[in-house]
Amino acid sequence: MNDSFSILFYIRKNKPDRNGKCTIYLRITVNGKRAETSVHRKVKVEDWNTGSGRAKNSKVSNRELNRFLEDVRARLYQIQGKCVADGRHYSPEMIKNVFQGKSTRHKTLLLIYGNHNKEISELVGREFSSGAYQRHLRTARHLKAFIYKEYGYEDMNVKEIDLKFINRFEHYLKTNLTPCGQNTITKYVTNLKKIMRISYANDWISKDPFYHWKAKWKKVERDILNERELKILMETEMPNQRLEQVRDVFVFCCFTGLSYIDVEKLSDYHFVLNMNGEKWIKINRSKTDTKSSVPLLPVASRILKKYGSDIEIRDGKLLPVISNQKLNIYLKEIAVICNMEKKLTFHLSRHTFATTVTLANGVPIESVSKMLGHSSLKTTQIYAKVIDKKLSEDMKRVAGKY
């Protein structure tokens, strides 16, 4: 560590009290940043040596004052030396707080993030998805590696996080996580932003370092299965039960729009009958806690009946849903079997429902938004891809006018 560290005692000569004495202040400087506080001692203006930052030795009381100031100086160097010996990052504010007996351990960035992640882990499956939890764990790991590489510390005081730190962290992600997409990098930085907002809300920092930072999102074209591809997927015979089950769960979500975490927790509790006796899925989305209401289409209904007899084996789960990671691995196998060049991922089923199954068949976007459980119509518009069939039909209507 090559941090500059200095201590200065000074007075404000223009603010003496009625006895002509001024308060002595302490200034701690680390790498050009300062923290100041009073040492709760006073001295007459004429007894103070500004150049040495000490009282003149002409009086016994002044010599005692100087011994006190030297004790303060020694204590501060002792605190700084312990930080260096422990390999811990230190700031002027942290040195000052330790000197004043204030605890700062809970105000370090990685410790705050660790507590945040511990709280999330206790709410996985209720308020947070497993994927969101894992992303925060990865962000914390990247932050730890960055802090050690950039500063040589195990952790940093949260007060030291500024715009320069944020930009350097973003640069570190771009140069050390290749290949890594722009949106993935931006997501890591916005995860850090959440931690700083928590720190700001708890008065652990005096200002939000993200005030002048703007997220850079790259527009992504969301892939879908068209009608022909969806039909091939449904009709192709799978070579084994494992792939057949994965295909069926995927197709079920193509006709219901459910995300992985919502289909994984789907139970009889989430089905209701309307006044016409039609079955609907009504479920609060795990990601946003908004209500999703979807009428059960015949294809989805047949898949449910297919696996209904094995429900006890699956501990009450309506469908044989395995881990999201394995689902995506097996979907790659299924794509090869179906001679599809598209990269099949489980979330593609939700895009397919929004476009091929609903929007392309004339379902209003407001209704699609309700079925997807979106709180804003703008979110639904992301899924509103104009597919070839819809575009062709629209242009035929135009041609008919001319």
Q: Could you identify the residue written with the tokens 């938004």? A: 369
Distance CA 228, CA 342 (A): 13
Q: What's the confidence (pLDDT) of residue 274?
A: 79
- Residues 143 and 136: beta-carbon distance below 8 Å: no
Residue 332 has a pLDDT of: 94
The encoded tokens of residue 37 equal 């506080």
Looking at residue 330, what is its pLDDT?
94
pLDDT in the model for residue 316: 66
Q: Which two tokens stand for residue 55?
A: 């009282």
As a whole number, the mean pLDDT across the chain is: 86
Say if CB 28 and CB 53 are below 8 A apart: no
**Which of 257, 245, 234, 370 is closest to 317 using CA atoms?**
245
Distances (CA, A) of 188 to 127, 197, 286: 20, 15, 21
Alpha helices in 258-362 (DSSP H): 260-264, 298-306, 324-337, 348-352
**pLDDT recorded at residue 313:** 55
pLDDT at 384: 65
pLDDT of residue 105: 53
User: What residue ranges of the chain have pLDDT lower than 50?
Assistant: none
Residue 385: what pLDDT?
Answer: 58
CA dist 52 and 47 (Å) reads 12
The reported pLDDT for the residue numbered 118 is: 93
Q: What's the pLDDT score for residue 311?
A: 61
Looking at residue 209, its pLDDT comes to 94
pLDDT in tens, 47-87: 999 999 999 988 888 999 999 999 999 999 998 988 888 77
Query: SS3 of 56, please?
Result: coil
DSSP reduced 3-state for 320: coil
